[in-house]
Amino acid sequence: MSILEARHISKAFGGIQALDTCSISVEQGEIMGLIGPNGSGKTTLFNVITGYEPADKGEVHFNGTSITSARPDHVFSLGLGRTFQLTRIFSRLTVLENMHVAAQRRGSRALLSRWSSRHEQKRALELLDFVGITQHKNELAGSLSYGQKKLLEFAFILIAEPKMILLDEPAGGINPTLLNHLSERICELNKRGVTFLLVEHNMEFVMGLCDRITVLHRGAKIAEGAPEDVRKDPLVLEAYLGG
């Protein structure tokens, strides 16, 4: 059963056809990779799915509900979380304060200055530990390395306990040790039932982690299947080598 389905999505920016009748279907419980050369439309597809960019054409369904043209906060409240290629955390707040904001975004009515419950604060600390950045909890988020910011953003969305998570280049800037840690965390969440769609240029990471991979080129899907099949697909090789 598919949890996320985007059908025939087209999106142009002026003369640039970022997405051209592009479809993708992600099964409940899988880890799907989304790869393709720079500018092939991966982030635009994430933006359309999560309501950050309106599509020119096409439909999106999540967990049995149409989210075509839905607003980002509505998509998020249905259980579809995402991270950004360039992280969107609050640089002038500490790591823990960022988690506080995340908890409030989830819908608690606490005053900004207070955690609504001990439980929520405990959970925030657990999640920082889960992604591996506890030791930075009192540092300003803006002072973190690029990789650590990505991990904070991951923890930030986990507080809402999403059913599905879209990750845009989660491995970018993350050192090899943290990268292994991240891989394990994604697997662990997946075992607990969270579905993933992830964009990533680190092929080793993608191939090792994903059940299936979809390949975009110039806004269209050119291949889809098991990692071992996709990596030797002539169309895929040509897209990467030919630019």
CB nearer to ligand ATP: pick between 48 and 95: 48
Least distance to ligand ATP from the beta carbon of 33, Å? 13
* Two structure tokens written together for 86: 């360039």
Least distance to ligand ATP from the beta carbon of 91, Å? 21
CB 67 within 8 A of CB 47: no
CB 36 within 8 A of CB 239: yes
Quick one: residue 9, left, alpha or beta (phi over 0 = left, psi -120 to 50 = alpha)?
beta
Residue whose CB is nearest to Mg ion in the complex, by number: 43
CB 78 within 8 A of CB 107: no
Nearest to 97, CA basis, from 109, 115, 110: 115
Chain contacts with ligand ATP (rule: CB under 6 A):
13, 16, 18, 36, 38-44, 85
Q: Does 40 bind Mg ion (CB under 5 A)?
A: no
CB nearer to Mg ion: pick between 43 and 214: 43
Q: Which stretch binds Mg ion (CB under 5 A): 12-20, 40-48, 204-212, 219-227?
A: 40-48
Least distance to ligand ATP from the beta carbon of 182, Å? 19
What distances in angstroms separate CA 76 from CA 11, 49, 72, one per listed residue? Answer: 22, 11, 6
Residue in this structure with the two tokens 């991966």, named with its chain if needed: 42
Least distance to Mg ion from the beta carbon of 29, Å? 25
CB nearer to ligand ATP: pick between 29 and 39: 39
Q: Which of 26, 34, 35, 43 binds Mg ion (CB under 5 A)?
A: 43
Least distance to Mg ion from the beta carbon of 85, Å? 5
CB 223 within 8 A of CB 215: yes
Q: Does 47 bind Mg ion (CB under 5 A)?
A: no
The partner in contact with residue 58, picked from Mg ion, ligand ATP, none with C-beta cut-offs of 5 to 8 angstroms by kind, is: none
Nearest to 150, CA basis, from 120, 126, 185, 118: 185
Residues that bind Mg ion (CB under 5 A): 42-43, 85
